[in-house]
Amino acid sequence: MLFQIVTHTPIYVWAILAFLIYRGVLASREREIAFGRMLVIPVLMLALSLQAIASQFGIASVAMEAWTLAAAAIVLQRVRFGASSTSAGAVPGTVRVRGSWAPLALMMAVFTIKYALAVALAIQPGLADKVPFAAAACGLLGLCNGYLLGQLALDIASSRRGPGVCAAEGGLAV
């Protein structure tokens, strides 16, 4: 059965996985990037999660409510207690990003949850009507997205403070 699942997975899914691994490894290194590149992974992960929720449970569903509550809780946690991984770059329009493996872990979590969700619903479509299943799966996606979005908010705020601002370790700009 596992062989059938893997062989029936569309090629573009493996391309997305390869891209996410590439970006995750890239995020592990300290670097200077254009300001807009900080948005790529949080926005991509948000789009992947919302697409999964919309297509499998509907936007106006308990699943979306679970995602929203989980995401909001973690965004608030990151903004209140988190530390930025960025500071203003040497060149206007760039930011200095401290390396971290956390983005790779979160991207793999979102990918794995979304993939497992699609497989589970392909095998047992009735699970889509089970509130605990939908809330748990989408709540997990919300936790991951909330962390990425909360960290992005911290990193944007930090990068706008100007050169010389110290950034704490463990942030997520990718």
Q: Name the percent of the chain in helix, strand, coil, to the closest 5.
A: 70, 5, 25
Judge whether residue 164 has pLDDT over 50: no
Mean pLDDT is lowest, of 23-32, 87-96, 121-130, for: 87-96
**121 phi/psi in degrees, rounded to 5:** -75, -25
Give the pLDDT confidence score for residue 137 in this predicted structure: 93
Structure confidence by residue, pLDDT tens digits, 13-46: 899 999 999 999 998 999 988 888 888 889 989 9
Round the average pLDDT of the chain to a whole number and report it. 86
Contacts of 118 by beta carbon, 8 Å cutoff, 6+ apart? 52, 56
Exposure string over 43-69, b if 16+ CB within 10 A, otherwise e = ebbbebbbebbeebbeeebebbebbbb
Percent of residues, the chain, with pLDDT higher than 70: 91
pTM of the shown model: 0.83
Give the pLDDT confidence score for residue 120 in this predicted structure: 92
Cα distance between residue 12 and residue 15, in whole Å = 5
Query: What's the residue count for the chain?
Result: 174
Give the pLDDT confidence score for residue 87 in this predicted structure: 79
Helix or strand or coil: residue 26? helix
